[in-house]
Structure 1
Amino acid sequence: MITVERAMVVDRPAGEVLRYLADFGNTTEWDPGTESCVRLDSGPVVAGARWRNTSRFRGRRTELDYRLEEYRPDRLLFVGRNRTVTATDDLTLRASEGRTLLVYRASLRFNGPARLAAPFLRAEFERLADAVAGRLPLVLASR
């Protein structure tokens, strides 16, 4: 399993940040690897909401079906799956004087033979996490 984590300060109130991040379709704006992210169900964004995320990684396109597993005022937990990988995006938020401390933790658990590739992919995921940490605060600050 590969886990990457980045902490960032966002110049927006925690409630606004939470509402924006809860809609996983917004990943197209802040995740450089995401090409599209389409809601698979309808209604309010609550625990159980689902999206299909299409990403490009190392030149290959991959699709994962994500589900919002947990929606709390201080935490969002998304789990995405396909036959090769289970991806978990765990976002925790803490309000601080009109700003938000956001901790982004992404974990990838590879299935079957793909597990053998995990050690060789860590550096790529670290670079992707750096890109998210650079882009996400800017996107949120501009909202």
Structure 2
Amino acid sequence: MIRVQRTLTLDRPRQEVLRYLADFTNTRQWDPGTVRCERLDSGPVAEGSTWRNVSRFRGRESELLYRLEHLSPDRLVFVGRNRTVTATDDITLATTGTGTVLTYRAQLQFNGLARLAAPLLRREFERLADAVAARLPVVLAGT
């Protein structure tokens, strides 16, 4: 299993950050690994909303089906699955002055033989988490 965590201070109100991140389609803008992300259902974003996310990692594309498992004013939890991996993105938000402190935790649980590769991939996932931490504040500043 791989776990990464980053904490960011954002110059945007918590409600705006929550609204933006709750729509997982926006990962195309802030996650450098995301190639495509499309919503599979309709209506307001709510617990149970689903997305098809295609990411590129180490030169290969991988598709995961994501579901919004938890939505509250201070937390979002998305779980993505395919036959190789279960990815959990757990995002907590706290108000600080006029901004927001965001803590992003990603957990990757590999299945089957892919479990053997997890230790070898940790460094690359750490780099990806650094790229997300650098890109997200820039993207949110422009929204």
TM-score grouping bracket, smaller chain normalisation: over 0.9
What are the ranges of 5 or more consecutive residues in structure 1 without an aligned counterpart?
Answer: none
Residue aligned with 1:47, SS:
coil
The one-letter code sitting in structure 1 at the alignment partner of 2:140 is L
Q: How far did residue 56 of structure 1 move?
A: 0.1
CA distance in 2, matches of 1:141, 1:12: 7
- Rounded to whole Å, the distance in 2 between the matches of 1:98 and 1:79 is 30
Q: Following superposition of structure 1 onto structure 2, how do residues 89-108 of structure 1 map, counting pairs within 5 Å?
A: 89-108=89-108
Distance 1:110 1:54 in 2: 17
TM normalised by structure 1 equals 0.99
1:77 corresponds to which residue? 77
Structure-2 separation of matches of 1:103 and 1:37: 22
In the alignment, the residues of structure 2 paired with residue 19 and residue 115 of structure 1 have an alpha-carbon distance, to the nearest angstrom, of 34
Give the AA of the match of 1:21: L
> Per-residue displacement from partner, 1:25-69 (whole Å, max 9, x unpaired)?
000000000001000100100000000000000000000000000
Matched, 1:132 2:132: yes
Over aligned residue pairs, what C-alpha RMSD do you find? 0.4
Q: CA offset at residue 141 of structure 1?
A: 1.3
In 1, Cα distance between equivalents of 2:64 and 2:98: 34
Q: AA paired with 1:30?
A: W
Amino acid at match of 2:21: L
Deviating above 2 A after TM superposition, structure 1's stretches of 4 or more consecutive aligned residues are: none
Q: Which amino acid aligns with 2:131?
A: A
1:65 and 2:73 equivalent?
A: no
Partner residue in 2 for 1:17 = 17
What amino acid sits opposite 1:99 in the alignment?
G
For 1:43, give the aligned amino acid. Answer: G
Q: Report the Cα offset of residue 75 of structure 1.
A: 0.2
Q: Which amino acid aligns with 1:56?
A: R
- Partner letter of residue 117 of structure 1? A
SS at match of 1:12: coil
2:36 maps to what in 1? Answer: 36
Aligned mates of 2:10, 2:89 — CA distance in 1: 18
Given the two structures, how large is their TM-score scaled by the length of structure 2? Answer: 0.99
CA distance in 2, matches of 1:98, 1:5: 23
